[in-house]
């Protein structure tokens, strides 16, 4: 009977989770269109009217453009978050070497601008979804670059084959995280910095966690303030 009860509450949790995902999807999708309109008129103002308006007005337009950009990032991340468990994300063999290559291409501007040095072990083939894997690597490596210290950013990607799983680690020499915050950084909208210090949505690690769980693995981090952080995740080996 207890098992039956447990199964029932699990079903309920799954259902409300699915509803929440659907809600996030619909709202973020519907917010996109009006935002696109706002952004395009702001761009028009910037391009055609800059010299007709005084300095204050131009500043105000700049603030509005920044706000629209932040909203756009937020909507995009929410859409990704709501789509991780989508049935359209089918699983197949995924060559992580290719995934990393594509991720580094996506992050090329940030990597070049900051002279980031990235080293990595040969990566295995896993069973999963390629789009999700790109998002996972992109969020973790993107953060390692964003939260860099004054030193030249160095990122080490390692993988160990264990009995039933691969253990991946992404190590940076960035600003680090106070160990007391290590649990909550994977919760959606939990950020340790203000937008003025580092731009962000607080959704990246929540997406990463969702992806890893969907692939049957676990994700966690170890860190020391001022020294750097290491993010670990596991993926079953077939
Ligand atoms: P965002 O970067 O948009 O704020 P994330 O969910 O990606 O959101 O990360 C949550 C928080 O965890 C960040 O605000 C940051 O404080 C911290 N964090 C994540 N990755 C790192 C890292 N590699 N080094 C230092 N802090 C990090």
Coil, helix or strand at residue 34: helix
How many Å apart are CA 130 and CA 96, to the nearest integer?
8
Residue among 78, 110, 147, 233 whose CB has most ligand 1 atoms within 8 A, to mutate: 147
* pLDDT tens per residue across span 114-150: 999 999 999 999 999 999 999 999 999 999 999 999 9
Distance 212 CA to ligand 1 centre (A): 17
Which protein residue's CA is at the shortest distance from atom 12 of ligand 1?
A: 185
pLDDT of residue 117: 98
How many Å apart are CA 1 and CA 7, to the nearest integer?
10
**Helical packing angle, 2-49 and 55-83, nearest 10°:** 150
Quick count: other Cβ atoms within 10 Å of Cβ 109? Answer: 8
Residue 238 has pLDDT above 80, yes or no: no
Q: What's the complex ipTM?
A: 0.98
Q: What is the DSSP string of 132-143?
A: HHHHHHHHHHHH
Residue among 84, 138, 143 whose CB has most ligand 1 atoms within 8 A, to mutate: 143
Residue 3 has pLDDT above 80, yes or no: yes
Instruction: Label the pairing between strands 125-128 and 154-161.
Output: unpaired
Instruction: Label the pairing between strands 165-172 and 154-161.
Output: antiparallel
Distance 185 CA to ligand 1 centre (A): 7
Mean pLDDT rounded to a whole number for the chain: 94
**Helical packing angle, 55-83 and 204-214, nearest 10°:** 10
At 49, list the tokens.
Answer: 């009217």
Residue 194 has pLDDT above 90, yes or no: no
- Which residues partner with 155 through β-bridges? 118, 172
């Amino acid at each position: 009977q207890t098992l039956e009860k447990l199964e029932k509450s699990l079903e309920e949790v799954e259902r409300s989770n699915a509803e929440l995902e659907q809600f996030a999807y619909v709202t973020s999708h519907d917010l996109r269109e009006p935002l696109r309109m706002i952004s395009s008129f702001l761009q028009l103002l910037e391009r055609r009217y800059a010299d007709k308006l005084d300095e204050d007005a131009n500043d105000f337009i700049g603030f509005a453009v920044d706000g629209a950009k932040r909203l756009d990032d937020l909507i995009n991340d929410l859409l990704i978050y709501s789509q991780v468990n989508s049935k359209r994300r089918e699983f197949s063999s995924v060559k992580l070497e290719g995934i990393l290559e594509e991720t580094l291409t996506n992050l090329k501007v940030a990597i070049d601008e900051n002279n980031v040095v990235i080293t990595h072990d040969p990566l295995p083939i896993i069973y999963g979804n390629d789009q999700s894997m790109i998002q996972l690597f992109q969020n973790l490596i993107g953060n390692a670059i964003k939260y860099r210290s004054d030193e030249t950013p160095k990122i080490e990607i390692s993988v160990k084959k264990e009995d039933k799983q691969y253990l991946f680690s992404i190590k940076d020499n960035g600003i680090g995280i106070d160990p007391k915050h290590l649990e909550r950084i994977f919760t959606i909208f939990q950020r340790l910095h203000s937008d003025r210090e580092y731009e962000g949505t607080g959704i990246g690690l929540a997406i990463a966690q969702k992806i890893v769980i969907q692939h049957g693995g676990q994700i966690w981090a170890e860190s020391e303030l001022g020294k750097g952080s290491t993010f670990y995740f596991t993926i079953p080996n077939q």
